[in-house]
């Protein structure tokens, strides 16, 4: 990834970028849009590189479907339906730490963090009605 980012460009203009690996499983890539904005082709190149890295390691790198959360000190993953079932059972709740992999701005990551209570991210609306009970499947 570092080699790719070192040569990443948009229409021949180098992109100032960086990456970080959070919790040994969440790769965050950022680009300084004030210096050079990424183009559709440069974003496609990044996505293709990430997919190739994932395939080589047998992991899904760009899958936003799972719910990532922390329970008993461990980072865990569940399908959305399985997380909804955990919510109905009371095994997870609005205060359960979740990882919001939908962030698109570095400023959001810096101010709100990747990990926060479910009630403070999209998970709260999706899985906990009125801040507490799990809504039924729609």
In a structure prediction context, what are the per-residue pLDDT tens digits for the chain, which is 138 residues long? Answer: 999 999 999 999 999 999 999 999 999 999 999 999 999 999 999 999 999 999 999 888 888 889 999 999 999 999 999 999 999 999 999 999 999 998 888 889 999 899 999 999 999 999 997 655 555 554
pLDDT score recorded for residue 55: 93
By C-alpha distance, which of 11, 104, 4 is closest to 46?
Answer: 4
Q: How far apart are CA 59 and CA 103, in angstroms?
A: 21
pLDDT value at residue 133: 52
Q: What is the pLDDT of residue 138?
A: 46
Residue-level pLDDT at 59: 85
Confidence (pLDDT) at 137: 52
Predicted local distance difference test score (pLDDT) of residue 131: 55
Among candidate residues 75, 92, 8, the one with its CA nearest the CA of residue 47: 8
Q: Alpha-carbon distance 58 to 53, whole Å?
A: 9
What the block records as the tokens of 72 is 């008993």
Alpha helices in 38-130 (DSSP H): 40-57, 80-89, 106-112, 122-127
Coarse DSSP helix, strand, coil percentages of the chain, rounded to the nearest 5 percent: 35, 25, 40
Quote the tokens at residue 22: 């959070």
pTM of the entire structure? 0.82
């Amino acid at each position: 990834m570092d080699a790719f980012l070192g040569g990443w460009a948009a229409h021949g203009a180098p992109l100032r970028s960086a990456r970080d690996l959070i919790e040994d499983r969440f790769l965050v890539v950022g680009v300084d849009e004030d210096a050079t904005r990424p183009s559709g082709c440069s974003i496609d190149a990044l996505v293709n590189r990430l997919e190739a890295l994932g395939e080589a390691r047998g992991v899904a790198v760009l899958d936003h479907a799972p719910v990532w959360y922390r329970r008993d000190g461990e980072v865990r993953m569940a399908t959305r339906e399985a997380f909804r079932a955990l919510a109905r059972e009371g095994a997870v709740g609005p205060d359960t730490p979740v990882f919001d992999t939908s962030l698109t701005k570095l400023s959001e990551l810096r101010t709100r963090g990747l990990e926060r209570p479910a009630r403070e991210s999209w998970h709260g609306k999706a899985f906990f009605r009125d801040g507490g009970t799990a809504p039924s499947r729609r």
